Structure 1
Amino acid sequence: MDLLNVLHMNATYRDCSYANSSTLQKYVMFKSEKVLQDAIEDYGANGFPECFNLADLGCSTGTNTFLFVANTLDSVHKACQKKNLKAPDEFQVFLNDLPNNDFNAVFKMAPPFCSKLENEKDLQRSLKCFICGVPGSFYTRLFPSKSLHFVHSSYSVHWLSQVPEKLVENKGNINIARASPPSVYEAYFNQFKRDFTTFLRMRSEEIIPDGRMVLTLLGRGVSDPNSEECCYIHELLAKSLQDLVAEGLLGEEDINSFNLPFYTPFTDELKTIIESESSFGIDKVETFEVKWDMRDQDEIIKSKENSGKFIAKTTRAVMESLLAYHFGNTFMDKIFERFAKHATEHLSREKSIYFNILVSLTKK
């Protein structure tokens, strides 16, 4: 599978678009806002450059894309006010994602966003912001050497550059599952280790010395990679695919030949890789949990859908491109109808959570 040209979040024009189904990701960005503010304030302790260059890796599309930009600019403004520093005259924002991301929707939102910033009534907040899209994999070089002051990525680096090899023993599963043999975990971990090391090495060439990077990703809070905490939502998706096998719509081999390029690291695994690569110092590592259905954690989010349908919609917005490429578009509605049913049944018995890792780094 050529992930560079296959993987993307559902485009804005889709009924189940990422832009309309990313309330989880928005909630996670709010949860990580304080760490982002601290990183910006710490970086600007001795002043900011005239043009502040920042990049968002895995920007996707929709209001979340510009929420990060707005939060970062606001953090710079607050840091300057707090320490009586001169704010940057200009901001250069690079929005990165894979080539099939819905950049058209991003570009349509950019001019009114920038215009609003330039016409703030408070002259202290009036600023120039230049936004450009950067298509490509963040496992490659994306920017000139020592050109970035700040890098951000939320819910992106748990995606691998490719499906790990040697997964023949993972029959009936589509990721690490509770029934997966140790060889499957080893293949996934080794792929993540290579990929995340490459990610850090690429960014180390692009970020200036003392520049900052803040990453939020799905992980796990226990060392056991087969724990339900990180496996179960993909097991429900695999169960939904098995339903179609039972109905004669898919073959068993269709599922056996499909695995997700997705790995949730244990916190200690992540820290060890960062320390081993050695280009960045770890300033802060925090973890937090978010319910699968996090609507009751955020009063702003209003939705009448039951939990199963809500989770199916958010999962479909993220996973559909991979499933459709492998299984075909014909079965997407059926797969996620069954997924909604299984998720509803599961949540009627117990509440499940996503475990999140938030790490703040400084370029050495």
Structure 2
Amino acid sequence: MDLEQQVYMKGGHGEESYANNSLVQGNVIFSTKLIREEAITSLYTNTLPSSLAIADMGCSSGPNTLSVVTEIIKVVEKLCKKLIHSSPEYKVYLNDLAGNDFNSVFKSLDNFKENLSDEIKTEIGNCYFFGVPGSFYGRVFPDRSLHFVHSSYSLHWLSKVPEGVNDNKGAIYIQSTTPSNVIKAYYEQFQRDFSLFIKSRAEEIVEGGAMVLTFLGRKGDDPRSKDCCFISELFAKVLNDMVLEGTINEDQLNSYNNPNYYPSPHEVKLEVLNEGSFEIKQLEVSEVDVNALNNHSPYTFTQSMRAVFEPVFVSHFGEAIIEDAFNRYQEIVTDIMAKEIIKTTYFTLSLTRKS
């Protein structure tokens, strides 16, 4: 599977699009607002750049894409008034894999600029937008060209499915039955990917620059824990039922594994410290009540999962099974939501580039 071509959120503005099914992600962005404000305030007051370069990595499309940019510009403009300093020019780089619906984002820019000027009651400085397709696991930008990097709900996606996970029969990610060698393969792929991400950004961010990263993970050390594996186990149950009924064949299921890894706080800190270019300012661990954020609606929750996973499922299993698979998933989720609260864990990591 060529993940650079297949891993992307479902585009457009249809009923099953990511744009219309990213409420949880939007809530997480709102919940982590204070950490970003602290980071951008410290960065701007200490450097006062005449041109501020911002990168949103794994930007996706939809209402969340420009919300962080809005927030950053509003903070900077408020600081400029307080410091009696002229507004900087803004260079905003939107990065995601090539399959992302960049066109929808670009079509929204005129309204974005108009609405932002209305909100802050003044014309903002020159604001330039650039679409930058490509994997963030490696260099994306020139040396020392960025002041602030943001990424939300993206870094739990790996650059590829780890090698050596063929023993994970009947599962699509780590779960209670997953052998230790498969867990090791997933962790080692995360180490390679995340360390490369940190190293690449260290070369691209100016000294004193900042980075705020939010991504799914787990609270404890056990990679089989429910807070990171539960949702994928439900998908595995659906697919195993479809194998038993002959809708898909067993080889198709056994050859598929999600290209994700949900790390622990210790695993995240270890890679940052080993790379050495960034100071950890904050590492906050939080939970999302999935039931509440989806209005206790199994349909809404299923649609949000479909917007994320449909493209990668289609690339492996084909389009014919998708409707049936997600209908089955909704049935399981309906039963689960009636009995318990589904929770997921995420981290917010605030880093400053060392001198």
**Structure 1 Cα separation of the partners of residues 41 and 203 of structure 2:** 23
What corresponds to 1:347 in structure 2? 337
What corresponds to 2:88 in structure 1? 89
SS of residue paired to 2:312: helix
Q: Report the Cα offset of residue 80 of structure 1.
A: 3.4
Q: Report the Cα offset of residue 121 of structure 1.
A: 7.4
What corresponds to 1:7 in structure 2? 7
Contact 2:291 2:337 (8 Å CA) reproduced = no
**Structure 2 Cα separation of the partners of residues 203 and 127 of structure 1:** 26
Q: 1:121/1:36 Cα in 2 relative to 1: closer, same or farther (>3 Å)?
A: closer
TM-score (norm: length of structure 2): 0.96
**Structure 2 Cα separation of the partners of residues 187 and 217 of structure 1:** 20
Amino-acid identity (%): 42
Q: Report the Cα offset of residue 153 of structure 1.
A: 0.1
What corresponds to 1:216 in structure 2? 214
Compare 84-93 and 18-27 and name the one that shifted more. Answer: 84-93
Give 2:310's aligned amino acid: E
* Residues 200-224 of structure 1, C-alpha deviations (whole Å, 9 max, x = no match): 1111111001100000000100111
What corresponds to 1:37 in structure 2? 37
What corresponds to 1:263 in structure 2? 261
Q: Report the Cα offset of residue 287 of structure 1.
A: 1.2
Aligned length: 354
| Alignment partner of 1:22 is 2:22 | yes
Unaligned runs of 5+ in 2: none
What corresponds to 2:150 in structure 1? 152
**Structure 2 Cα separation of the partners of residues 146 and 55 of structure 1:** 13
Contact 1:94 1:131 (8 Å CA) reproduced = yes
**Structure 2 Cα separation of the partners of residues 12 and 275 of structure 1:** 39
**Structure 2 Cα separation of the partners of residues 179 and 87 of structure 1:** 59
Give 1:217's aligned amino acid: F
Q: Report the Cα offset of residue 87 of structure 1.
A: 4.6
SS of residue paired to 1:354: strand
Contact 2:13 2:20 (8 Å CA) reproduced = no
Give 1:59's aligned amino acid: C
**Structure 1 Cα separation of the partners of residues 347 and 120 of structure 2:** 38
**Structure 2 Cα separation of the partners of residues 81 and 231 of structure 1:** 47
Give 1:311's aligned amino acid: F
Contact 1:50 1:89 (8 Å CA) reproduced = yes
**Structure 2 Cα separation of the partners of residues 77 and 13 of structure 1:** 31
SS of residue paired to 1:144: coil
Q: Report the Cα offset of residue 89 of structure 1.
A: 3.0
Q: 1:261/1:121 Cα in 2 relative to 1: closer, same or farther (>3 Å)?
A: closer
Q: 1:279/1:249 Cα in 2 relative to 1: closer, same or farther (>3 Å)?
A: same
Which of 232, 255, 279 matches 1:234?
Answer: 232
Give 1:256's aligned amino acid: N
Q: Report the Cα offset of residue 140 of structure 1.
A: 2.0
What corresponds to 1:98 in structure 2? 97
What corresponds to 2:297 in structure 1? 307
| Alignment partner of 1:191 is 2:189 | yes
Which of 322, 327, 346 matches 1:332?
Answer: 322
SS of residue paired to 2:66: helix
**Structure 1 Cα separation of the partners of residues 10 and 121 of structure 2:** 37
* Residues 295-330 of structure 1, C-alpha deviations (whole Å, 9 max, x = no match): 37xxxxxx6xx5321111001100111100000001
Report 1:121-160 matches (<5 A).
122-123=121-122, 126-160=124-158
Q: Report the Cα offset of residue 186 of structure 1.
A: 0.6
Q: 1:43/1:172 Cα in 2 relative to 1: closer, same or farther (>3 Å)?
A: same
Unaligned runs of 5+ in 1: 297-302
Q: Report the Cα offset of residue 77 of structure 1.
A: 2.3
